[in-house]
């Protein structure tokens, strides 16, 4: 049976922004694996660090995402990738006149993925990249002679001030032009003072500018078919290119990376809250299907799709809480610093209190050891950064959102049988406990750079670290017992009692 999506992309040119990011490289890989008869992909890339875009492309092709691709294709497949020097943060996307003319003449599908994802960023950079960057892409789209569709990668959290959201555009509290004019006329200090009034119920400048960008897309929907896809927190791969693949340290894979090292020992989450995680390959497959879908139907109004799990396959940490430490010890790291022991806590103040004992104090000791042995201290900086970001992230850690996605589910069911397999984004099929087994392995392989062949040695070290951890705890709580016995003037017979009480109290943190 033919694949309608594959047939659509045959002999077509795609213009892709954000192609060097986590989602971007996954989009490139999927196109080259599942639509190899594509004519080409124009990759908007910034020359940087003294490297041309051609040199950056060579580096890109070495990304771990392409391992599966190169098992079935020769490296010649990368000739489909056409780097063009530019930047979404510059006028006309920083494109030369010659590159503009080629892109305008040839491009059939635009996928706009570039954005600044920094929740701490101020208004000026987020407006320039997220809002003006989108306007610049859309301006280029209006000049394209053979454009079939434009897919804008947004975020489910553009409406995070609502705990329940549907697949539609919600009104903005400010106009794009007003915000752009303010950025053009005010200095940074004035913008920082004005920001809370502009944001209103938005938690940060990221969600605010991404929502404004959606309305810019809507302004052009009558000119060419447009789709807005709103992924939630994008996590490691469900199936493609291989289960667990990731190069992103955001979200659960970042926690797992630190936990597997033994340096992250507490995780602040509401174990019974629904967390909206979405695997990267589900986002990729849906985005590519949308390029085909809106072009085929010739829509002249913007179509919005939630690429989310909260209402179709909700995830709660409760479902894996009893297994996470088992996963960490089944797939341990040879480079682990301490014995992994991850515990979930339900509030920030409990996390901060326990973090003093299980993160900060050990970090001070280990950084001191690294310093005197010629290493580079890093743990205290890591935990300080986490500590500083917690208040900004509290809303995202302890808020439950419901993102309804009937349009996405309808789209998934409308695919041909072959496309349902080839471009699967039906998240209802995912089994979360199994997914986290693969994610743990993916974090080990791709974030901690440890090959499967090192697993036996890692398991031996894990056993050694367990013994060291037990001995260390006995010594520490024995010391606590001795100090308390001395402090209260008790006889030595109370030594173990105080030590035991200290251990029980500590275990509550």
Q: Which pLDDT tens digit goes with each residue over 461-473? A: 999 999 998 888 8
In which band, very low, low, confident or very high, does the pLDDT at 480 lie, cut at 50, 70 and 90?
A: confident
In which band, very low, low, confident or very high, does the pLDDT at 446 lie, cut at 50, 70 and 90?
A: very high
Is residue 485 pLDDT above 80, yes or no? no
In which band, very low, low, confident or very high, does the pLDDT at 288 lie, cut at 50, 70 and 90?
A: very high
Is residue 477 pLDDT above 80, yes or no? no
In which band, very low, low, confident or very high, does the pLDDT at 4 lie, cut at 50, 70 and 90?
A: very high
Residue 509 corresponds to which tokens in the numbers above?
A: 């943190």
Lowest mean pLDDT segment, chosen from 108-122, 399-413, 421-435: 108-122
In which band, very low, low, confident or very high, does the pLDDT at 489 lie, cut at 50, 70 and 90?
A: low
pLDDT at residue 192, rounded to an integer: 92
Do the beta carbons of residue 367 and residue 267 sit within 8 Å? Answer: no
Where does residue 444 fall: left (phi above 0), alpha (psi -120 to 50 degrees), or beta otherwise? alpha
pLDDT at residue 496, rounded to an integer: 67
Is residue 508 pLDDT above 70, yes or no? no
C-alpha angle 241-243-244 in degrees, rounded to nearest 5: 105
pLDDT at residue 309, rounded to an integer: 97
Q: Mean pLDDT throughout 169-194?
A: 94
**Cβ atoms < 10 Å from Cβ of 313:** 16
Is residue 492 pLDDT above 70, yes or no? no
Alpha-carbon distance 347 to 421, whole Å?
41
Residue 257 corresponds to which tokens in the numbers above?
A: 């990376």
Alpha-carbon distance 315 to 310, whole Å?
7
pLDDT at residue 451, rounded to an integer: 93
Do the beta carbons of residue 119 and residue 199 sit within 8 Å? Answer: no
pLDDT single digits (tens) 372-399: 887 777 777 777 777 776 766 777 888 9
Is residue 34 pLDDT above 70, yes or no? yes
**Which residues, in sequence order, are bridge partners of residue 109?**
14, 149
Q: Render 118-145 in DSSP notation, one character per residue.
A: -TT--HHHHIIIIIIHHHHHHHHHHH-S
pLDDT > 70 fraction of the chain, expressed in percent and rounded = 96
Within its chain, how far is the Cα of 501 from the centroid?
Answer: 41
Q: Mean pLDDT throughout 97-106?
A: 97
Do the beta carbons of residue 32 and residue 6 sit within 8 Å? Answer: no
Q: Render 414-475 in DSSP notation, one character per residue.
A: HS-HHHHHHT---GGG--HHHHHHHHHHHIIIIIS---GGGHHHHHHHHHHHHHHHHHHHHH
pLDDT at residue 383, rounded to an integer: 75
pLDDT at residue 394, rounded to an integer: 76
pLDDT at residue 207, rounded to an integer: 94
pLDDT at residue 178, rounded to an integer: 95
- Hunting for tokens 């913007």 — which residue is that? 302
Mean residue pLDDT across the chain: 91
**Which residues, in sequence order, are bridge partners of residue 48?**
51
Is residue 349 pLDDT above 90, yes or no? no
Alpha-carbon distance 36 to 28, whole Å?
11
In which band, very low, low, confident or very high, does the pLDDT at 350 lie, cut at 50, 70 and 90?
A: confident
Q: Mean pLDDT throughout 329-338?
A: 94
Q: Mean pLDDT throughout 412-437?
A: 95
pLDDT at residue 363, rounded to an integer: 81
Is residue 281 pLDDT above 80, yes or no? yes
Q: Mean pLDDT throughout 477-495?
A: 71
Q: Do strands 40-45 and 107-112 pair parallel, antiparallel, or not at all (unpaired)?
A: unpaired
In which band, very low, low, confident or very high, does the pLDDT at 474 lie, cut at 50, 70 and 90?
A: confident
Alpha-carbon distance 235 to 250, whole Å?
8
In which band, very low, low, confident or very high, does the pLDDT at 491 lie, cut at 50, 70 and 90?
A: low
Alpha-carbon distance 405 to 247, whole Å?
27
Alpha-carbon distance 106 to 225, whole Å?
17
The alpha-helical segments, DSSP class H, found in 226-357 are 252-261, 280-297, 324-330, 348-355
Do the beta carbons of residue 433 and residue 319 sit within 8 Å? Answer: yes
pLDDT single digits (tens) 200-235: 999 999 999 999 999 999 999 999 999 999 999 999
Q: Do strands 13-17 and 40-45 pair parallel, antiparallel, or not at all (unpaired)?
A: parallel
Q: Mean pLDDT throughout 173-201?
A: 93
**Most confident of the following: 148-162, 260-274, 493-507:** 148-162
């Amino acid at each position: 049976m033919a694949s309608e999506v594959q047939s659509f992309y045959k002999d077509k040119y795609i213009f892709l922004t954000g192609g060097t990011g986590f989602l971007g490289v996954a989009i490139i890989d999927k196109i080259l694996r599942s639509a190899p008869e594509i004519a080409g992909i124009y990759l908007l890339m910034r020359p940087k660090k003294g490297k041309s875009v051609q040199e950056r492309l060579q580096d890109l092709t070495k990304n771990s995402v392409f391992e599966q691709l190169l098992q079935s294709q020769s490296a010649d497949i990368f000739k489909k990738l056409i780097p063009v020097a530019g930047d979404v943060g510059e006028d006309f996307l920083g494109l030369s006149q010659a590159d503009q003319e080629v892109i305008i003449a040839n491009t059939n599908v635009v996928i706009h993925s570039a954005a600044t994802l920094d929740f701490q960023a101020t208004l000026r950079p987020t407006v320039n990249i997220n809002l003006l960057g989108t306007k610049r892409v859309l301006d280029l789209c209006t000049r394209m002679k053979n454009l079939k569709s434009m897919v804008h990668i947004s975020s489910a959290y553009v409406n995070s001030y609502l705990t329940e959201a549907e697949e539609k555009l919600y009104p903005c509290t400010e106009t794009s032009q007003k915000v752009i004019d303010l950025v053009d006329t005010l200095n940074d200090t004035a913008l920082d003072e004005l920001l809370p009034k502009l944001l209103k119920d938005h938690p940060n400048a990221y969600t605010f500018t991404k929502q404004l960008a959606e309305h810019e897309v809507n302004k052009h929907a009558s000119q060419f078919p447009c789709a807005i896809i709103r992924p939630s927190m994008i996590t490691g791969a469900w199936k493609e290119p291989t289960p667990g693949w990731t190069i992103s340290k955001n979200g659960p894979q970042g926690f797992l990376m630190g936990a597997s090292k033994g340096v992250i020992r507490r995780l602040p989450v509401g174990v019974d809250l629904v967390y909206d995680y979405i695997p990267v390959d589900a986002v990729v497959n849906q985005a590519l299907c949308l390029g085909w879908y809106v072009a085929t139907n010739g829509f002249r109004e913007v179509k919005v799709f939630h690429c989310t799990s909260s209402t179709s396959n909700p995830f709660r940490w409760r479902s894996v809480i009893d297994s996470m430490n088992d996963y960490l010890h089944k797939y341990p790291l040879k480079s682990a610093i301490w014995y992994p022991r991850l515990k979930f806590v339900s509030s920030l103040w409990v996390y901060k209190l326990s973090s003093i004992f299980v993160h900060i104090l050990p970090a001070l000791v280990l950084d001191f050891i690294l310093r005197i042995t010629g290493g580079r201290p890093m743990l205290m900086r890591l935990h300080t950064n986490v500590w500083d970001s917690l208040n900004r992230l509290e809303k995202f850690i302890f808020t439950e959102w419901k993102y309804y996605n009937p349009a996405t589910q309808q789209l998934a069911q409308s695919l041909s049988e072959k496309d349902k397999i080839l471009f699967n984004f039906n998240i209802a099929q995912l089994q979360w406990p199994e997914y986290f087994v693969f994610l743990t392995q993916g974090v080990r392989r791709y974030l901690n750079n440890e090959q499967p062949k090192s697993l036996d040695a890692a398991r031996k070290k894990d056993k050694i670290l367990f013994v060291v951890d037990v001995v260390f705890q006995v010594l520490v709580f024995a010391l606590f017992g001795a100090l308390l016995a001395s402090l209260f003037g008790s006889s030595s017979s109370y030594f173990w009692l105080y030590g035991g009480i200290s251990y029980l109290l500590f275990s509550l943190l």
